[in-house]
Structure 1
Amino acid sequence: MNRTGALFLLLALAVAGWLKWQVIVLGDRLGEAQRENGKITAALTDTRTAISRLQTAAGQLAQEEKNLRADLDNAHRLALNREQKIQRLLNENQTLRDWFNTALPADVARLHQRPGFIGAADYLRWLSDGEPMPDTVQPSGD
């Protein structure tokens, strides 16, 4: 029995050693899983924060769009009122109608002519290459 007891004790120590090793390995895996969980939690928090910011920005953009549409509606209404007033005045006053129908002087008409611009660079180039204004003291040749 002595030999059996020693063998049993040796077997028990081996099992205990193996179990200790398994506990250490599982502890390491648990630590890795906890670190990975922390990274995922931080990423999720960052994602939620980003989503919240984007939702706030989208709400602000929607409000700004609403305000711009209201401003545009007001501008259209004002332009229509101005156009109606001009038309009413033209219909009421022959002198004003005659003045309105006269052609603009050539230099003034030239100011109203602009080429089609593709972008801001074209507009700036056009401004830089512009012709000087005529001397108002001297009569124009037209």
Structure 2
Amino acid sequence: MRIAIGVLIIALLALAGTGWYSHVLAGDLQSANQIIGTLSAGIESRDAAILHLQSESAEREKSELALRVSLGEAGTEARAREVKIQRLISENETLRTWVTTALPDVVVRLQERPAFASANDYLRWVSEGNKLLVPGQSAAK
């Protein structure tokens, strides 16, 4: 009988130990589930950010393609316009003479004026005697 009581006590102690160990494991499982939930939320947030960036990248690629097509069309139009101008110049003697004639001094001075950073710079330039000529006036100062 002593042996049976001893075996019963050992069985009860083993059962109590198993219950305690089960409780500890349940707490560990709950902590692991919380960590998994946090990590899953982080992964979902990262995935959403990646999708957003991929979408923006695709939109930029579409815009870039549209700009490249537009630039190509503009270049083609500019070349066609230049060819037309050259053809007209070579066909028309009056136009060819007009194109080769030197610009008037007033126009040349307009093209030669410096770039101005502000209105004060322009006023200073004009006050130094660099005024534009009135139509009909001579180019001499």
TM-score, structure 2 normalization: 0.75
Aligned twin of 2:26: 27
CA distance in 2, matches of 1:41, 1:136: 77
- 1:43 and 2:42 matched: yes
Moved more, 87-96 or 130-139: 130-139
For the residue of structure 2 that corresponds to 1:90, the secondary structure is helix
CA–CA distance in structure 2, aligned partners of residues 108 and 69 of structure 1:
35
Q: Return the structure number with greater relative CO, CA threshold 8 A, min gap 6.
A: 2
Q: Which moved more, 1:29-38 or 1:6-15?
A: 6-15
- RMSD of Structure 2 on Structure 1 (CA): 2.5
For residue 108 of structure 1, what is the amino acid of its counterpart? L
Matched, 1:102 2:104: no
* Ranges in structure 1 where 5+ consecutive residues have no aligned partner: 115-125
The separation in 1 between residues aligned to 2:109 and 2:3, in whole angstroms, is: 122
Q: Where does structure 2 lack aligned partners over 5 or more consecutive residues?
A: none
Structure 1 residues 54, 72: closer, same or farther in 2, change over 3 A? same
TM-score relative to the length of structure 1: 0.75
- Residue 91 of structure 1 corresponds to 90
Deviation string, structure 1 residues 74-95 (Cα, Å, up to 9, x no partner): 1001101111121112112222
Q: 1:127 aligns with which of 114, 117, 121?
A: 117
SS state at 2:102 partner: coil
Cα deviation, 1:54-82, whole Å, max 9, x if unaligned, reads: 22122211211110111001100110111
In 2 relative to 1, CA 11–141 (structure 1 residues): closer, same or farther, beyond 3 Å? Answer: farther
Query: 1:38: Cα distance to partner?
Result: 0.9
Code of the aligned partner of 1:109: Q
- Verify: 1:59 aligned to 2:50, yes or no: no
Alpha-carbon distance between aligned partners in 2 of 1:137 and 1:5, rounded to the nearest angstrom: 130
**Can you list the C-alpha shifts for 1:77-136, whole angstroms capped at 9, x where unaligned?**
11011111211121122222222223333223225x77xxxxxxxxxxx53375356345
